[in-house]
DNA sequence: GTTTGACCCTGTAGTGACTACAGGGTATCC
DNA sequence: GGATACCCTGTAGTCACTACAGGGTCAAAC
């Protein structure tokens, strides 16, 4: 199949597929007489593997490691487990940070309820006072 | 004060301060005889304003808008409110996505409990099957 | 008087994972 | 023969920095 069909089948942009090839994640396929890429079933599978991992928030470098494991099935899978654990911890930490962020934003947002001149706006007042080093509701 | 002191006072990297100047967020200060930047109190305040907004996850483009509001105090603050609302929604959406992500990762992680050859590893097996289009626990 | 070290300058390139062209070639249908 | 849809390479842009390279300035210590 050609790149456009592969893209359609995986829900991936054509440019992204070429990018994965350039990055060494997806094997370069053979070319037809016109110089077009001709993909086989294994490319579809590889690309779906990559997209699946990406949908789990993994980085390309990590996916490269996982692809290696797939191709060397007798390696100890400890690294796979550690990789996933690291990813889980990363997501948990980001969620915690975002929770704090959301609380801060809501507190700041509550400073202004009515439409008014920005000089009277509680949000702007709070941001200005915080810039002067005073306490703000959003950071305690 | 010179850039190093400003950096220390705000917890901001020297390069970041120069970057904000280049991006037009922080006014260019006057230079002394050696060509060094000499900052005043207002620069400290501006930088703290910027860093405070950044700590709330706002983008530089949004901070630029907020800085404009600060300097035009008789503008209607409606846009400030909308900007904050958009930021809150963005964070909420990201948190929801991360929650789903975390659940998917945990389900995948549960596929492997013991250390073994990667060919036997439940995580690798699951990823491989998913790449073949089969159902995976992480995506239902 | 020179050397050391801390500070400052400009400018460019790199990060990650794409995305968006520009400028061209190819294939197929009408 | 022309329109359209597809494909190619290569480069630049995104965002908010970060990390140099290669140089200048200044004060204190030796």
Q: What ipTM was estimated for this complex?
A: 0.83
Q: Does residue A133 share a domain with residue A92?
A: yes
Question: B20 CA, C9 C1': separation in Å?
Answer: 16
Distance from CA of A44 to the nearest CA of B (A): 8
Interchain CB contact of B30 with A (< 8 Å) = no
Q: Does residue A70 share a domain with residue A2?
A: yes
Whether B121 is covered by a domain: the verdict is no
Residue B39 phi/psi, 5-degree rounding, is: -95, 150
Whether B13 is covered by a domain: the verdict is yes
Do B52 and A130 contact (CB within 8 A), yes or no?
yes
Distance CA B10, CA A25 (A): 42
Report pLDDT digits (tens) over A46-86: 999 999 999 989 999 999 999 988 888 888 888 889 999 99
Least Cα distance to B26 among B9, B8, B6, B5 occurs for: B6
Domain that holds residue A102: 76-140
pLDDT along chain B (140 residues), means of 10: 96 96 95 95 95 93 91 86 91 90 89 82 90 85
Whether B14 is covered by a domain: the verdict is yes
Point out the domain boundary residue: A17, A44, A74. Answer: A74
Number of domains into which chain A is organized: 2
Residue A37 phi/psi, 5-degree rounding, is: -70, 135
Interchain CB contact of B112 with A (< 8 Å) = yes
Q: Do A123 and B87 touch (CB under 8 A)?
A: no
Q: Do B80 and A123 touch (CB under 8 A)?
A: yes
Average pLDDT over residues A30-53: 95
Interchain CB contact of B117 with A (< 8 Å) = yes
């Amino acid at each position: 199949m050609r790149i456009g069909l592969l893209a359609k089948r995986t829900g991936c942009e054509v440019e992204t597929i070429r990018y994965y090839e350039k990055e060494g994640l997806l094997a370069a396929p053979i070319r037809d007489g016109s110089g077009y890429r001709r993909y086989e079933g294994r490319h579809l599978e590889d690309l779906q593997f990559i997209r699946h991992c990406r949908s789990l928030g993994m980085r390309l470098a990590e996916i490269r490691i996982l692809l290696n494991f797939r191709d060397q099935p007798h390696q100890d899978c400890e690294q796979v487990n550690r990789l996933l654990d690291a990813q889980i911890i990363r997501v948990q930490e980001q969620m915690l940070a975002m929770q704090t962020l959301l609380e801060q934003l809501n507190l700041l947002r509550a400073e202004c309820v009515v439409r008014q001149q920005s000089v009277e706006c509680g949000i702007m007042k709070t941001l200005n006072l915080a810039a002067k080093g005073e306490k703000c509701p959003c950071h305690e």
